[in-house]
Amino acid sequence: MTNVSLLVYLLVCPFNLKYVLDFPSYVHEMYRREECKDLSTHYRKRGIDVYSQQSQAYVPHSEEHLYEDAEIYFEIILRSKKDIRKNQKENYDKVVNSFVSDKKEYSLKSIHSSEEVIELYYVHVFTNRIIKIKIEKKKEIKNYLHLFFTNYCIYKLSNHDYNRVKNVSDHSKGVILNTYYIYTFVLLFSLCIYVEKSLLIAFPSLRKHEIGVTLCVLFVPSILFLYFYFYFTLPRVVAVYVILYLLFSLRRRKVEESASSAWSGKHASEITATEGVTTPGTAEYEILLNMRLVNMCITYLCIFGVDFFFFPKHFAKSAYYGNTLMDLGVGACISTSAYAMSRKVFKCVKRRRKIIEIKHIILFSLGIARFLAIKLFKYNYSLTEYGIHWNFFLTLCFTFVISNILLILLNGKKGTIFLISMISIFFYELCIYQFDVHNYLLSERERSNIFSQNREGIFNAIGSINLYLFSHYLWGVLITYRHITIKVPIQFFHNIYKVKKRYYTVHFSIILFAASLSFYIFHLLLNSIGNYSVRILCNANYIFVTTSVSLYASGLSYFVEENILSEKINITILEKINNNTLIVFLFCNVLLGFYNILFQPLLYPLIFVIMILISYSFFLLTFASFLPTNQWGETVKRKCE
């Protein structure tokens, strides 16, 4: 098919699933439009009004990029579809000619959408004169199959136009401070982990279909959350958690009762058999395993899903200020690595005196390779994220190496590490305001030297080192506290054997939740004085909110593993992902790169997006299934040899 693109089809042609795919709507307001039985929403942003002719219901919206998208989208339509000029030559010529004019005399003011037509109202920026252009929706194309048989209303975007649209949608434009759905997402993921483990305990035969089970139980709900998060409220997720816990507990009780019967003894043993189930080593291992999985699996989905138009932009990385889902995912990668740097591993590193390990060389090589690939394939990327040459791989590499050096120099002493990290965070904040770093990073000044060309990445690496040291100290304190409380449990629980046997560990989860709440309060206090979280800087506010989410995920992991799961069980495919996170992350980036080079994913309808992400998750799990599984203890032992 010549000149194939879904863009004009998305905007002009009718749909069977019109309430899901209509532009310029936003997916989380879909249910409101279904109530109104009309095609478009009504929101006001920067002077643009988008409203239905049948309903004047106001829908508040804070996503500035939708206004910018609308301007670019309809500019492309008018330039591409010359047949729109018919019967409105004068207005059409004025608007289209202004697109290539340096002055750009006309700007989009409002959009009127109905079943038959889209009416665009442009205003003259100097005289305020308004002119109207009408676009008729084509009736010939009625479903997706027609895409493969006709090119009547479909046009191919040039790389220039596509990158213009993509650059608008790459980041969240607003300052996103609300973390409600981030905590809800972590809770949902914890629920999915619990459900999958409970299913494997109840039905051991599912082990043979672990990829399919993980895909359906873990990844599909996560994908649906990303695009339909407004349905996943905190009370609903908690209610489902409680109901499923009661159901699994009831079934477990029936199995135990049947096991006590001589007639059903053999049958019960078959049901409760745990063939293929590996026993976890320590509680710390399970906490870190689940916490790393929460972060990495969400990261794998987000880096692929963010390129689609319907991906909620308040989940995408912030343009500067804010703490979105992807913002905190970057910080969580660093904090979980710091948590995993146990004292035993630190002693091994110190004894071998190998500050630079193989993984650091790999990260550095990946950073260089990514830069070369971007230049070779002319891949579109955001300059304001890390700079010209810098990227996340280089940030991780320098963070780990410099942190290793500092930990060895400080001899791993907790008090000294805490003191140094707090002093470093304090002086870093002082320098940010003393030298007006915010304006320096936000300015459009020329990038004349290697520092200015990579200023975002360099500042990010400095803040990441602070986050790593602080997280390493904090986790060491919490784990030490757990060991003490485990050895000397509360006396009251000593008197109740069953409670002591299974439930006394719940107080450590409470400690983790309380610590998470404390750092969240610090985050709110800094917000109240205007010191917002900045991922690029990795400032104090960003460290606090990242720590809060990480401890919250840790508390949920510990609570699930130690308190509500009936048996200890590991999921092999997730073990492999956890022990090979860098390899899986590299695989996802390579897959993403090829996909973006070959296709224009920003233009795809929502139903395609869901199907593509499910397929992507299946490939990810299939690839991970071929990777080796190494137990935590074996890995540490091998490092020490």
The upper half-sphere exposure of residue 311, i.e. CA atoms within 13 Å in the direction of its Cβ, equals 30
What is the C-alpha to C-alpha distance for residues 435 and 438, in angstroms, rounded to an integer? 9
Measured distance CA(202)–CA(165) in Å, rounded: 49
pLDDT at 465: 94
Exposure of 466 in the CB half-sphere (CA atoms within 13 A):
23
Long-range contacts of 15-20 (CB under 8 A, 24+ apart): 15/605, 16/142, 16/143, 17/605, 17/606, 17/607, 20/605, 20/606, 20/607
Query: Distance between CA 472 and CA 397 in Å, rounded?
Result: 17
| CA gyration radius, the chain | 27
Per-residue burial over 257-281, b if 16 or more Cβ lie within 10 Å, else e, is eeeeeeeeeeebeebbeeeebeebb
Structure tokens at 1: 């098919």
Given a contact cutoff of 8 angstroms between Cβ atoms, the answer to whether 274 and 569 are in contact is yes
Q: Is the dihedral of CA 218, 220, 221, 224 positive or negative?
A: positive
Residues counted in the chain = 641
State the pLDDT at residue 399.
92
What the block records as the tokens of 527 is 């917000």
Q: In what order do the strands lie in the sheet with 106-113?
A: 43-45, 48-52, 106-113, 117-124, 130-136
Q: How far apart are CA 452 and CA 434, in angstroms?
A: 18
Number of H-type helices and E-type strands within the chain: 29, 5
Distance CA 113, CA 24 (A): 9
CB burial string 173-200: b at 16+ within 10 A, e below: bbbbbebebbbbbbbbbbbbbbbbbbeb
Give the closest residue to 291 by CA, choosing from 553, 108, 637.
Answer: 553
Tell me what pLDDT residue 37 has. 31
Cβ within 8 Å of residue 269, ≥6 positions away: 259
Task: Identify whether the C-beta of residue 352 lies closer than 8 Å to the C-beta of residue 342.
Answer: no
Residues β-bridged to residue 123: 107, 130
Neighbours of 72 (CB within 10 A): 17
Q: Identify the CA nearest to 316 among candidates 178, 167, 170.
A: 170
Q: Tell me if 554 sits within 8 A of 515, measured CB to CB.
A: no
Query: Over the stretch 484-495, which tens digit does the pLDDT of each residue have?
Result: 555 544 444 455
Residues of the chain scoring pLDDT < 70? 1-69, 102-103, 113, 115, 137-158, 168-175, 259-285, 342-354, 412, 480-505, 603, 630-641
DSSP 492-530: HHHT-HHHHHHTTTHHHHHHHHHHHHHHHHHHHHHHHTT
- pLDDT value at residue 56: 34
Q: What is the pLDDT of residue 488?
A: 47
Q: In the chain, what is the straight-line distance between the N-terminal and C-terminal CA atoms, in Å? A: 60
Tens digits of residue pLDDT in 415-432: 788 889 899 999 999 999
HSE (side-chain half, CA atoms, 13 Å) at 353: 0
Taken in order 482, 487, 490, 496, is the CA torsion positive or negative? positive
- Single out the residue of 473, 454, 320, 442 nearest to residue 398, CA to CA: 454
Cα distance between residue 633 and residue 641, in whole Å: 12
CA 370 to chain centroid: 21
CA distance 368 to 27: 38
Write the CA distances from 460 to 72, 327, 336, 547, 553, integer angstroms: 32, 12, 17, 17, 24
What pLDDT was estimated at residue 272?
40
| Unique residue bearing structure tokens 């593993």 | 561
- Rounded-to-integer distance, Cα 368 and Cα 365, Å: 5
Torsion of CA 222, 225, 231, 236, to 10 degrees: 30
